[in-house]
A = this chain, B = another copy of it.
Amino acid sequence: VPRRPTLRDVAERAGVHPGTASRALDPALPGRVTEVTARRVREAARELGYAPDPIARTLRTRRSGLIGVLIPDLMNPVLPPIVRGIEETLWDAGRAVVLADTDNDAARESTLLAELQARRCEGLIVATATRTSEAVRALAGGDVPAVLVTRDVDDADLPLVAGDDAAGVMAAVDHLTGLGHDRIAYLTGPLELSTTIVRLQAYLEAMSSSGAEPLVRHGEAFTAAAGRRLTAELLDDRDDVTAILAGNDLMALGVYEALAEAGLRCPADVSVVGHNDMPFVARLQPPLTTVAIPQREIGGAAARALLRRLDGGAADADLRRLLPTRLVVRGSTMRRP
């Protein structure tokens, strides 16, 4: 059986000692070896099709080249682009991505975090944080660098990369007030998520600066079902609402359903705005006006932030990196009737 070649084979063929071959092949150390031997070794390596064994290297150097990526649920449409951005950036940097999905389960979160570390991941990218996750907070003190994506945890000095949701929500409120709306309701996601809080806060600020009275309903989850229930309740209580800002696009889907059920038209009777610009919302009827988030870039930026840290970068240089969002105006908003 033609075993894959080791450094020893290369050294033998080049007529040098394995140690020398190792030095010759290490690009970080030019001048540690004669140019002529370096050439001989490289040649032998090429002829043999030699590739260093990452496992053996890791055992020696303690660097595995593995980055753990923890996500809440890959089937949530916002995540694939983020994971994609992370993954392409890390592969390009010679790292491999170990993906783990918590299924939105806190217990699973801490299990998987431990598992990822046990498997010697050099760094962690975490998209599952709730404001109170202890397991995530503990990462701040730990010895494996971690970066949070999208979701932040309270009171921990962990770097975060996310979209500038606040700016997006403010733009959405401005858009609606610009269209003459002032009875604008906001439907939140679960309060244990930082994204919910950030968006809600922005809504409240924008409303107060426009002098309009805020109107908030809290949802138990970022789902269409929650959006639908909240909207139905809202319409029962108040018949003067002319615009609804949904915590995210999934909830906006539920808003559409509830409006249709109540015999209200969108946007003729009620304008609707979502958040995230997930795939295909432009193809809904009506096409959804929403806050677009640069998901893939967020993933890439998170990966780069982690790489910087792994290369000994300053730990405090780039806490809280917010990437620009933008309001995409489509057919679900119009001038107040």
Interface residues of A in 222-257 (CB under 8 A from B): 253, 256
Give CA–CA (A253, B282) in the complex, Å.
Answer: 11
Residues of chain B contacted by A66 (CB below 8 angstroms): 98
- Which of A113-121, A126-134, A169-177 is the interface stretch? A113-121
Residues of chain B contacted by A74 (CB below 8 angstroms): 80-81, 83-84, 87
Do the beta carbons of B119 and A99 come within 8 Å of each other? Answer: no
Give the number of times this chain occurs in the complex, counting copies.
2
Question: What distance in Å separates the Cβ of A36 from its nearest Cβ neighbour in chain B?
Answer: 28
CB of A55 closer than 8 Å to a CB of B: yes
Residues of chain B contacted by A79 (CB below 8 angstroms): 80
**Cβ-neighbour of A84 out of B54, B56, B65, B75 (below 8 A):** B75
A43-62 CB contact bits vs B (8 Å, 1 = yes)? 00000000101111011000
Closest 3 CB pairs of A and B: A285-B285, A99-B99, A74-B80
Other 17 A-B pairs with CB < 8 A, given A74-B87, A283-B284, A284-B285: A51-B118, A53-B120, A54-B118, A55-B58, A65-B119, A74-B80, A75-B84, A77-B279, A80-B80, A83-B99, A91-B115, A96-B100, A96-B115, A97-B100, A253-B283, A279-B280, A284-B284
